[in-house]
Amino acid sequence: MTRGINQVGPRSLLAPIAALASCAFLWVALLTFNVGDWPSPDQFPHNHPSANACGLVGAWASYRLLHLLGDGAYPLVLFLTLAAVFRLVRGQIGSVWERVFGLGLVVACTSASVHLMFAGGPRSLPVGHGGLVGFALGDLLNHNFSRAGTIIVLVSSWIVGLIFTTQGWVLKLPAVFGRAAQASAEAISVVRQLTRVATLREALPAGGAVLVNSPPTPEPRALARADLPPSSRRGSRSARDAAEEAESDSIPARADDESVDRPVPI
């Protein structure tokens, strides 16, 4: 059993590793493409040695891709690279033909869009930035659907192709962006709190601490009856009752003194 696994493992990894190496080669060749390299007919004599970082082979491969697909070659190599990485990590890729169909839509719509939006320049091929596919498809759509219809067809086809290529992963992007925005908001709030704490620490004196939002010290004043404890309240109540009784005792005495019979003048 172990011998079978050891024999199958390297063979299953051989194809994705070769595909990943080929994609890396194509990336370097495309990014260092030069119009004056062989086999481009735009310049003669050709650059010698080749200006492409991958030599004559890289110049030939990049020229064929850009002449046929234009800038649509970049998403093609991008998704091929991702497919090689997923095949290397996961071991398999599901729904291959659906992904191939979606990738074809993405590449064709990219080539047509680039051909319609950007004109050719001195650093581009005579067919333009969209290649042969972009030139043919862009002129066909523009002739039959005009500008507004062409935009609608290209955008909708590009979205459908992206959904087929990624197998619905593109529909999860809004949720991912929402979680990223929430995480960034939480990070900003934490940074603000840390900045506030650092500001308060800088405001502290060297030998002590500062009370923030401490209530003012009340001035000394006579305690109200409501502020007294229950025992003090009973004591004050008994003293007041004794004073009232003494006052009531003195009032009748005065009344008796005033009510003494006096001689009435004749």
The token pair that represents 178 in the structure block: 């929402």
Percentage of the chain exceeding pLDDT 90 = 33
How far is Cα 191 from Cα 2, in angstroms, rounded to an integer? 54
Q: How many residues does the chain have?
A: 266
For the four alpha carbons of 173, 179, 182 and 183, in that order, the dihedral sign comes to: negative
Tokens representing residue 158 in the block: 């590009």
Query: What's the pTM value of the predicted model, to 2 decimals?
Result: 0.61
d(CA 78, CA 92): 18
Q: Across 92-96, 102-106, 199-203, 249-253, which has the greatest mean pLDDT?
A: 102-106
Tell me 86's DSSP state: H
Q: CA-to-CA distance for 60 and 43, rounded, in angstroms?
A: 14
Closest CA to 134 of 67, 78, 75: 67
* Structure-token pair, residue 186: 């939480």
With beta carbons less than 8 A apart as the criterion, state whether 67 and 127 touch: yes
Domain ranges of the chain: 11-171
Tokens of residue 73, six digits? 């070659």
CA distance 29 to 78: 14
Average pLDDT over residues 117-142: 85
Q: Specify the pLDDT at position 80.
A: 93
Task: Tell me the C-alpha distance between 22 and 80, whole Å.
Answer: 10
Q: pLDDT value at position 30?
A: 94
Whole-number Å distance between alpha carbons of 131 and 120 = 10
The yes-or-no verdict on residue 263 having pLDDT over 70 is no
Query: When comparing pLDDT for 211 and 182, which is higher?
Result: 182
Q: Where are the beta strands (DSSP E) in 92-174?
A: none
- What confidence tens digit (pLDDT) does each residue in 213-230 have? 555 555 555 444 545 455
Residue whose C-alpha is closest to residue 87's, from 79, 76, 75: 79
pLDDT at residue 133 above 90? yes
pLDDT tens column, 89-127: 877 777 888 889 999 999 999 999 999 998 777 667 888
- How far, in Å, CA of 50 to CA of 79, rounded? 28
Chain-centre distance for alpha carbon 188: 12
Is residue 49 pLDDT above 50, yes or no?
yes
Q: Kindly state the DSSP code that residue 48 receives in the 8-state scheme.
A: S
